[in-house]
Amino acid sequence: MAIKKASDFLSTQKTSDSRSMKEAFVRGETKAFTLRMDSDLHYRLKLRALEEGRTMTDILDELARGYLDGKKS
How many domains does the chain divide into?
1
Whole-model pTM? 0.59
Rounded distance between C-alpha atoms, residue 73 and residue 58, angstroms: 15
Rounded distance between C-alpha atoms, residue 27 and residue 43, angstroms: 30
Phi, psi for 57 (deg, rounded to 5): -60, -45
pLDDT band at 30 (very low <50, low <70, confident <90, very high): confident
Gyration radius from the chain CA atoms: 17
pLDDT of 29 reads 78
35-69 pLDDT tens trace: 999 999 999 999 999 999 999 999 999 999 999 99
What is the CATH classification number for the domain harbouring 56? 1.10.1220.10
